[in-house]
Structure 1
Amino acid sequence: MRQRKRSGRKEPIFSGFATSLSELRLNPLDRITIADDKPARRTPPRKKTTAPRSDGPRKPPPGDRKGRAKKRTRGSFSRLLYWSAVLTLWSVIAVVGVLIYIGAHLPPIQSLEIPKRPPTIQIIAADGSVLATRGEMAGSNVVLKDLPSYLPNAFIAIEDRRFYSHYGVDPLGILRAAVANVLHRGVSQGGSTLTQQLAKNLFLTQERTLERKLQEVELALWLERKHTKAQILELYLNRVYFGSGAYGVEAAAQKYFGKPAKNVTLAEAAMLAGLVKSPSRLAPDRNPEGAEARAKIVLAAMADAHLITGQQARAVTAKPSYAMKPASAGTANYVADWVGEVLDDLVGQVDQNIIVETTIDPKLQSAAEAALIDELAAKSIKFNVSQGALVAMTPDGAIRAMVGGRNYADSQFNRATMAKRQPGSAFKPFVYLAAIEAGLTPETIRQDAPLDIKGWRPENYTHEYFGAVTLTQALAMSLNTVAVRLGLEVGAGKVVRTAHRLGITSKLEPNASIALGTSEVTPLELVGAFGPFANGGYAAGPHVVERVRTAGNNKLLYARGKEAPGRVIDPRAVAMMNTMMEQTLISGTARKAEIPGWTAAGKTGTSQDFRDAWFIGYTARLVTGVWLGNDDNTPTRKATGGSLPVEVWSRFMRAAHQGVRPESIPGTQRGGFPPEVAQFGQPADAPVRAASPTVPTVGRSPPLPQPARADARPEPANGLGLDGWLNDRLFGGR
C-alpha cells in the first residue's frame, strides 16, 4: 500500500492575548483522526474547564445565589408582561377585524331604522262587519307608562334580569347560560339580552350561525347607543312574537285574553312573558297546560328577582286568573285563508295595513256552517262521513258562503277550494250539454241497456235497465249507460272542452269514463261551472274579493271590474238543460231537495265505492254545492248524493231564501223563458208554454216504467211525459 504523504501541522499563534499557549492548545482527544480505510468519526468535544477539578461540587456564595434568584424572577415577570401585552394587542386586533368583517356584511348602521311592523289584513264582509284578521297580526303600539309595571317586569325577570345594568350584551349572562348548558348537557338557557332579541327580531333572520350571532351583538350595541333603556324595552314589547300570528303585547293580549294589554292580570302577564321562549309550542290556544306551567316559572323568577313579593307569586300560582279567549273555530276562517291566497294575484306583496272587502254574507255564512255541522253531527256515524264542504255563490259568481270543513280549529285544510274529488254523476250535465249542443233535445230517445267498452261494463245504481228513455228521464234517473252512450256519441274530447268552457279548471281525462265523473275536481270549480245554467248562459267565475284599500288613507288598490261576462252557452241550450235538471228535484234523485215557492234545478253525484257524495243545485238567486266524504278517501257507508248532501243543501237553501221574493231560473216551465230566448227552436215572440210535451205539470206522478230487456227497441216519445218512476227504494241516492 502506498504510504500517504504527511505534511507538518502548523499551530496558530494568537498574538495580543495574555492567555498562554498551553491553555489554548487542544487536547489530543479533541483532534480528528482519519484512518486509511475507515470513515472519519467525530468525538464529542470535551467541556472546557478553566480551573482544576475539585473533589466536590462548587457552591456559589449565599449572596450570589440570592442575586441570581432575583434576576430570574425579574426576567420571568418581564417576559410575562411582554407576552401578555402581545397577546392583548393581537386579541384587540382580532376583535376589531371580526367586527369590521361582520359590519361589512350588514347594512350601513346609519341606514338602519326601526322597520315597519308586519302588515295587518282586515277582511270585511259584504255588510261591513269584520270577518277575520289575517297576516302577521300586530296590535297598536303600547306606551310603557300605560302598562302595569308587572307586565314589563315579567319579561325582565325571565329573559334578562341585568337589563338595566348591561350595555346590550351581558357577559355574565352568557357565562351563566354556558355553565347551565354544560351542566344540563344541552341548550337549557340562552344568553341573549332583550336588546339582542330585539336586534334579531328587527333586522336579522332566525338562523343559528356564528356570523348571525356576531351581527346580533353588533346591532345590540348600536341599539343601546341609539336608544334609552325605556325605548328599547317599549320597542321589544311591541315587536316580540307571541305565536298564533300575534306580534306585540297588545295583539297577544287581544288574541289570547280578548282584552287590551293594559288590563291584563299578573297571571296573564306572566303567561305572555313565558311565551317568548317557544311561542308556537306554548301558545295558550293550542297548549293551555304548557302555557300555564311556563307562567308559574315566570312568577317564581319575578319573586326571585324581587319584582313581586313571594306572597304575590304564591297567591297567583294557587289561584291563577286567566280569562282565556276560546280558540277560533268559525268557518269564516276558511274564507279568510282563501282571501289571503288570492290577494297576491290581485295586489301583489302586501307591505302595509289593508282592508279587503269581500262578497261574503255573514248570515248566509252562519246558515251554511250550521247546516253542514249540525247534519254531520247527527248523521256522520250512520253514514261513516267525517268531513264536508259547502260553497254558495250568486249566479254571477260572487261567493256568499264557504265552509271548508267541519271544524277549523281541528283542521285548516279548505276542502271547498283544495280537495280534488271525483264528482260522479254530478259531472253528467256537461255530457248532456255537449249532446244538446250537438243537436239532441230533452225528448231524444236513447237506450238504457248493458254496455261493453273493451271489457268495461258500466252499470246503473240499481243494476236494472229501463230500455228506451228520453234524455230528460235519463238525467233525472242518473242512468249511467245513457250518459256513457252520449259521451261516446259526442266524443270524450267534446265533453272535456264543454266542462272547461263552463269553468272547470282541473285536468280532465278524455276517456269513456269521463261521462261518469271519474276525473277529480274541487267543490269550488264544480259550483262555478253550474253558474251558467243559473244565469242564462254566461261565464260565472267564482270570486270573493270586491275591493282592496289601504287602512290609513283608504287608497284603492283593487276593485273588481264591472265588465259584462262572455256567453258560454246558447240560451236555448240553457233552457233545455234547466228543464231537464229541474226534474231531478221534482221526481228524480233529489226529490228531497225542496225550497217552498222557488223553482230549482241541480244534479246529485256519487263516486265509486261511495267515497264521495255530492249535490249541486241552484235557483235564480244562489248556486250551492255540497260535498261529503272522508279525507283519507275511504268509502262511506253508502252515503249518496240524494241523501245527506241533499239534506244539508235543503236546510241551507231554505234559510237563504226565506223572506226573499221568488224568481225563476231561465227556461223552466214555472216561470217560462226570458223574452230573448227562443223556445226549443221557436221564435222569441212565441207564446210561453211548457218546455216540452214530455214535461208533466208540477206534482204529477205517472207510474214507474218497468225495466226493459237489453234488446228492447226505442219507443217514440209521443206524449209519454216524464214518468214519476223514481221511488225511495230505487233512487234514494245518486
Structure 2
Amino acid sequence: MKKQSKKKKTRWSVFLKPIKVILFTFLAVMVLGCLAGGAVFLKYQDEILACKEKADSIMSKTSKTDFSQPTDTRVYDSSGTLIGTINSGHYEYVPITGISENLQNAYVAQEDRRFYKHHGIDYQGLLRAGLVFIKNKGVFTQGGSTITQQVIKNTYLSQERTFQRKLTEFFAAPQMEKKYTKPEILEFYCNTNFYANRCYGVSEASRYYFDKEAKDLTIWEAATLAGISNNPSKYDPVAHPEASQKKRNQIINSMAICKFITEEESENAKAQPITVAKIYEPGMKENYQTSYAIHAATLELMKNDGFVFKYVFNNKASYDAYKEQYQEVYQTKSDMIRNGGFEIHTSLNTDIQNLLQGMIDDRLKKFKEVQENGKLALQGAAVCVDNRTGYVVAIVGGRGTDDEYNRGFLSRRQPGSTIKPLIDYAPAFESGFYYPSRLVNDNLFDKGPKNSGGKYFGPISVREALNRSLNTVAWQVLADIGVDKGIGYLGKMHFNGLSYLDNGNTSMSIGGFTEGARVVDMAKGYAVLANKGMYSSKSCITSIQSQYDGEIYNQSQADERIFTEDTAYMITDVLKGTLDKPYGTGYGLGLTVPAAGKTGTTNSNKDTWFCGYTKYYTTAIWVGYDTPKAMPGVYGKTYSGRIWHDFMAEINKDLPALDWDMPATVSLSNVDSIGEKTDKETGRKDLFSSVAEAAARADAGRWQQEEERKKLESQSQKNAEAAQQSQMAADQAAAAIQTIINEFNGLQYRDSTTDEKINTAHSLLDQLAGTEYYDSLSPQLEAAINRVMSLPKKEESGTKPQEVGPGVTRPSETTTPVFPGDMEPGGGDGPDQGPDGSDYGPIQVEPGM
C-alpha cells in the first residue's frame, strides 16, 4: 500500500490562506466587474461616448458667470438714484466670504461629507448608488452625487434622474475640480440652488425666510435652507413647516456627527421653532421713466448686434419684411433686459420729470371723463430734450403716474402743423429756392387744403405764412420740393412710424400721416433746429452695465448733419414770430429768453400740439383723447401751448437769455416788393443764405427757371403797381367829378367859377374814358351841367366888405345872402378805414390744422 505524504502546516500557511481567499475573491470580483463593465460598455458605448463628449464640451466653455442667475435689472436717473427695478427674482450673487460657515458646513455634512477629500467623484457614494440602481432594475432612486456633480447638474443639465445625466456628471466633475477650488465650487452651489417661493440663490432665500444677509445665518437657519434646497416642494417651511423642521433637525444631527457643531449647539438649534419672515420685495411698477429707459436700452442692444434701423420704405414688401425682423429682434432684446442682469443709467432728471408731470396734470385736471378701461379720457404727453447734451431728460406718457402706457414713445398721433418746419420749410430752405421773404400765393385751389378760419391772403411771404400756419402755402412748398424729399428728411431724423403709404402723400405737408408721429420724435426733430441742424442719436441712455459683460453701451455715435446751420438759424428766426408776432398762432406764449415754436391742430381739433425750444431745452407737448375725437375750441395754443409755456418758463428762468448766433454765411439784406434780395434801400430786410444760394445755383436748370419766375413776377408786380396807380388816379378823378356833380346839383345860382368847374369836370371825365366810371358819371355830369347853366347868374359887387371887428366882415349890401340849405354837402367826417378798406387792427387767425 502506497504511503501518502502530508505537507506539514506552518504558521505562515495558516496566516496566508485567508489572504489568498480574499485575493482570489477580489480578483474574481474584478474579473466579473470587468466582464460586466465590458458588457455594459459594449451595450451602452454610444451613450457613454456621447456623455463623455458632452462633458468635455461643457467644461471647455465653462465660466464663473455660468453659476449665477441674472440680478434684477435696475434703472437709475441722472443723479444715480434708483427709479425702477424690473423684478427677475431679486437674485444676488454672493461670494463665499458672504455665506455663513454654518450653511457651508450644513451642506457638507448632509450632501457630501467627503467633499474636501475627493476630486469630484465620491466612489463610496457611487458604489452605494450603483447597488441601489441594480436592485431597482435600472431605475435611479438614490443619488451618489457630490456637491461638484450637483453644481454641474444645476447649471448645465436637467433635474431628471437618468443614466445619461449621471454619466455626464461623472465625466465632468473631475474636470471641474481641476479648474476651480473647493471654496469656489461650494460658492457656486449656494448661488445656484432653488429655495422655493421664487428664491433663487442663498441671498434671496436668506432675505425672504429670515430677513438677513447670508453671512449672518445661524445653525438652525442654515440647516433649514439646506433642507429646502434638497427638495423645495417637500421641505418648504411656509407650505410644510413640520416636514421642514424634521429635515432641519436631521441636518443638524449630521453637522454634530461631523463635529461641525457641539452636542449642546445641536440641541439648542433643534429647540428653535421654525419661524419665517416671508420678506418679499416686489419689483417696482414700470413708470414713464423706466419704460422709456428699457425701450431705449433695447435699441442700444440691437445696435450692438449690428441691427440696421430703417425709417423710409419704398413699398409694402420692404415695409412688412422690416417690421417682422424688427419685432423679432426687439422682443428678444427687451426680454433679455426684463429677465435681469443689467444696470441702466440714464439722463432722466427726476426734478424736471416731476415738474413736467405736474404741469400736465394741473392744466388738464378739470377734464374728469373716464374711459371704459378706467383711464382718464383726455390725455397729455410730453418729452423734453436738453439741447446742450442731446439727451432726453424727461418723458411724460399720460396724466398721473398710475397709467403704465407711455404715450411719449408708444403712441403715434397726427402732428398737424407742427410738422411743417421739419418736412416743408426746412427742406425747402435747404434747396436755396425758398427763404423767409419769398412770396407764395395763398389761395384756395382745386383738391388742395383749406386754411383754418377760411382766410386767404394772396401773395404772402414764407415767414408770415409759417407764422400764420397757412395750409395752402405749406402744401405748395412740399409739392414743389417733392413729398418724398421731405419724408427723406424725417427719415434722417429717425422718425419711427413712417409708412410706405406716405410716399407721394401731399397731405404730409400739413401733418396727414398714415400712422402718425411720436412725441419723442417731434421733440428730437425740433432739437435739430435748436442745435444748428445736427441730429443727436442719444436717447436717455448714459450707461448700460451687464452683469456678465460689463459696460456694453457705445457712446461714440456721432451727431448727424440734417440741415445746414443757415437753414436751422433762419427757420428758428421765423419760428420766433409764432410767439411774438400779433398774427402768430402762438402769440402770447413768449418767454423771457429767446424762444421759437410752432402750434399744431388737426382736423376737428382731435390732436393738439405745441413744439418749441430755447438754446437750452426743446419740449414737445401733445393733448388729445386716446380714442381721437373732436375738441371744439381747443387749439395748439390753448392747453398744449400753455403747458409748454409754463414748463419752459420754469426750467429756463435762471439761465442766461442767450440767443442763437447768426452764421457768417447768413446776411440781413434789403427785400424788394416781390420778396427778393436787392441792393436798393427799401426799408424792408430779411435773411438770406449764401450757402443755400450756392446750392441753388448748382442746379443750373432749376436756377434758370427761378430767374425766369422772378422776372415774370417782377414784371407782373410792376404791371400790378401801374394798374394800382391807374386805378387810384381813376378813383380820385371819379371822386372829384362826383363832388362837382353834387355841387352843381345843390346850387341855386351860377357864378364866374361855374365855367371853370365845367371844364375841369370834362377834363377829368376824359381821363376816365374806357373805365366803368365813364359810363356811369358821363350822363350824371351832363345833367348837372345843364341844370347849373339854366340857373340865374349871381350878381357880384366889387365893393370891399365893411370890417366890423378884427377878422370879422359884414356882408356888402349888394352881396347875395346865404340861406339855410345852401351849404355844400359832403363836409362831414366818415368812419376811419384802413388803406385797403378794412377796419384797422390786427387780423385774428385761428391756428392751422
Q: Provide the TM-score with structure 2 as the length reference.
A: 0.52
- CA spacing shift, 1:356–1:150, aligned 2, 3 Å: closer
Write the distance in 2 (CA, Å) between the matches of 1:581 and 1:202: 63
Counterpart in the other structure of 1:522:
518
Counterpart in the other structure of 1:427:
419
Contact 1:523 1:627 in 2 (8 A): yes
Aligned pairs for 1:180-219 (under 5 A) are: 198-200=151-153, 202-203=155-156, 215=168, 219=172
Per-residue CA deviation, residues 127-172 of structure 1 (Å, 9 max, x unaligned), is: 566667899886452337744968998xx8xxx9867799899999
Aligned pairs for 1:15-94 (under 5 A) are: 90-91=39-40, 93-94=42-43
Offset, 1:568: 1.6
Per-residue CA deviation, residues 653-675 of structure 1 (Å, 9 max, x unaligned), is: 23422322222346xxxxxx566
Query: Can you give the 5+ residue segments of structure 2 that lack an aligned partner in the other structure?
Result: 1-31, 116-120, 137-142, 253-268, 307-332, 672-676, 688-719, 725-833
Per-residue CA deviation, residues 532-582 of structure 1 (Å, 9 max, x unaligned), is: 322334444445456789999999985537x78647235266325532454
Q: Secondary structure at the match of 1:103?
A: helix
Counterpart in the other structure of 1:73:
none
**1:725 and 2:719 are equivalent in the alignment:** no
Contact 2:47 2:164 in 1 (8 A): no
- CA spacing shift, 1:388–1:674, aligned 2, 3 Å: same
- CA spacing shift, 1:85–1:422, aligned 2, 3 Å: same
Aligned pairs for 1:202-351 (under 5 A) are: 202-203=155-156, 215=168, 219=172, 232=185, 234-239=187-192, 248-250=201-203, 260-262=213-215, 296-297=238-239, 299=241, 301-307=243-249, 316=276, 320=277, 322=279, 324=281, 327-337=284-294, 338-343=296-301, 345=303
Offset, 1:492: 1.9
Structure (1 or 2) with the larger CA radius of gyration:
2
Aligned-partner residue type, residue 661 of structure 1: P
Of residues 670, 678, 682, the one that matches 2:667 is 678
Offset, 1:296: 1.8
Write the distance in 1 (CA, Å) between the matches of 2:412 and 2:230: 39
Counterpart in the other structure of 1:496:
487
Per-residue CA deviation, residues 305-343 of structure 1 (Å, 9 max, x unaligned), is: 235999966754xxx563746625454323532135315
Write the distance in 1 (CA, Å) between the matches of 2:628 and 2:172: 59
Offset, 1:619: 0.9
Contact 2:483 2:504 in 1 (8 A): yes
Write the distance in 2 (CA, Å) between the matches of 1:619 and 1:467: 30
Contact 2:384 2:617 in 1 (8 A): yes
Write the distance in 2 (CA, Å) between the matches of 1:654 and 1:218: 71
Aligned-partner residue type, residue 493 of structure 1: D
Contact 2:86 2:284 in 1 (8 A): no
Contact 2:349 2:394 in 1 (8 A): no
Q: Secondary structure at the match of 1:659?
A: coil
Q: Secondary structure at the match of 1:105?
A: helix
Contact 1:476 1:587 in 2 (8 A): no
- CA spacing shift, 1:550–1:678, aligned 2, 3 Å: farther
Counterpart in the other structure of 2:816:
none
- CA spacing shift, 1:498–1:193, aligned 2, 3 Å: same
Contact 1:271 1:295 in 2 (8 A): no
Write the distance in 1 (CA, Å) between the matches of 2:651 and 2:613: 12
Q: Comparing 591-600 with 254-263, which one deviates more in the overlay?
A: 254-263
Write the distance in 2 (CA, Å) between the matches of 1:329 and 1:315: 33
Contact 1:611 1:634 in 2 (8 A): no
Q: Comparing 332-341 with 342-351, which one deviates more in the overlay?
A: 342-351
- CA spacing shift, 1:572–1:344, aligned 2, 3 Å: closer
Write the distance in 2 (CA, Å) between the matches of 1:414 and 1:429: 26
Write the distance in 1 (CA, Å) between the matches of 2:628 and 2:370: 13
Offset, 1:512: 1.6
Of residues 618, 621, 626, the one that matches 1:623 is 618
Aligned-partner residue type, residue 425 of structure 2: Y
Counterpart in the other structure of 1:569:
564
Write the distance in 1 (CA, Å) between the matches of 2:364 and 2:205: 34
Aligned-partner residue type, residue 621 of structure 2: V
Offset, 1:618: 0.8
Write the distance in 2 (CA, Å) between the matches of 1:529 and 1:442: 24
Query: Can you give the 5+ residue segments of structure 1 that lack an aligned partner in the other structure?
Result: 1-82, 180-189, 279-290, 667-672, 694-713
Aligned-partner residue type, residue 663 of structure 1: L
Q: Secondary structure at the match of 1:297?
A: coil
Counterpart in the other structure of 1:602:
597
Q: Comparing 116-125 with 269-278, which one deviates more in the overlay?
A: 269-278
- CA spacing shift, 1:568–1:379, aligned 2, 3 Å: same
Of residues 552, 556, 562, the one that matches 1:560 is 556
- CA spacing shift, 1:98–1:503, aligned 2, 3 Å: closer
Per-residue CA deviation, residues 418-466 of structure 1 (Å, 9 max, x unaligned), is: 554432322111313344543353573532536425xxxx44555x344
Counterpart in the other structure of 2:95:
142
Write the distance in 2 (CA, Å) between the matches of 1:585 and 1:271: 71
Write the distance in 1 (CA, Å) between the matches of 2:629 and 2:163: 55
Write the distance in 1 (CA, Å) between the matches of 2:686 and 2:280: 65
Contact 2:604 2:630 in 1 (8 A): no
Contact 1:252 1:272 in 2 (8 A): no
Superposed CA RMSD in Å reads 6.4
Offset, 1:623: 1.2
Offset, 1:211: 6.8
Write the distance in 2 (CA, Å) between the matches of 1:272 and 1:609: 68
Counterpart in the other structure of 2:532:
536
Offset, 1:269: 12
Number of residue pairs the alignment of both structures matches: 580
Aligned pairs for 1:171-182 (under 5 A) are: none
Contact 2:611 2:619 in 1 (8 A): yes
Of residues 77, 99, 124, the one that matches 2:48 is 99
Counterpart in the other structure of 2:64:
115
Q: Secondary structure at the match of 1:527?
A: helix
Counterpart in the other structure of 1:398:
390
Offset, 1:528: 2.3
- CA spacing shift, 1:315–1:395, aligned 2, 3 Å: closer
- CA spacing shift, 1:260–1:96, aligned 2, 3 Å: same
Write the distance in 1 (CA, Å) between the matches of 2:222 and 2:395: 34
Write the distance in 2 (CA, Å) between the matches of 1:613 and 1:212: 64
Write the distance in 1 (CA, Å) between the matches of 2:580 and 2:190: 60
Offset, 1:246: 9.9
- CA spacing shift, 1:635–1:111, aligned 2, 3 Å: same
Contact 1:392 1:623 in 2 (8 A): yes
**1:662 and 2:651 are equivalent in the alignment:** no
Q: Secondary structure at the match of 1:605?
A: strand
Q: Secondary structure at the match of 2:248?
A: coil
Write the distance in 1 (CA, Å) between the matches of 2:630 and 2:160: 50
Contact 1:354 1:551 in 2 (8 A): yes
Q: Secondary structure at the match of 1:116?
A: helix
Write the distance in 1 (CA, Å) between the matches of 2:549 and 2:164: 41
Offset, 1:482: 3.7
